[in-house]
Structure 1
Amino acid sequence: MNTPMPNLVVISTTAVPDYVRGSLSRWLTEPTPGLYVGSVSARVRDKLWETVSTAVGDGAAVCVHPADNEQRYIIKTAGERRRRVTDFEGLQLIEFKEENGIVQL
């Protein structure tokens, strides 16, 4: 028996333009600066992420939302940061870029 996926979305932003923060705060709650949570449809979530990821500039953003996979969620990122998502046999893991270019899991 398949149960419906919840529609909770979490978006974290760092150093994004003010208008991006404004767009997010229209649809989601901001419990702490740069962290947005809420329940929205997949269509709204995808539009919000499109807005964030295309306007991130020198900042960074992460979106976590439910998915029908082994982990039960997907992580999306935009912008360059030390941590990045990598696929390891179907699982999303976080790898760290070292300052000298070496990557560690």
Structure 2
Amino acid sequence: MSKNLQRLLFGKFCSLFAASLFTFVAGLTVLRETSSGLQFALVLLAGTLPRILLSPVAGVLSDRWNRKKSSSRPKHQVPSYLPYLQVTRPFFLSRRCIT
């Protein structure tokens, strides 16, 4: 196996591991704040389901697009999500589940 392929696979593994860990920690945060197992499960589902459903489509589309543009585009889109998260965060964390 070539050195470049090893680096690519290691990078993909780290990326997938970090995304899965973030999803789990987000679920634990919701569980701690709301004490709701349902909301915890919904966060895990919302973090996992898009990866499962969109992976085949994303693979086909990424083969058709310019690789340089498709790899740099997400880096520029992430800052546009931050204002949305700052506005919605108080709404989701202020809701408590009544048991």
Q: Which has the higher strand share?
A: 1
TM-score by length of 1: 0.22
- Larger radius of gyration, structure 1 or 2? 2
Which structure dedicates a bigger proportion of its chain to helix?
2
Q: Structure 2-normalised TM-score?
A: 0.23
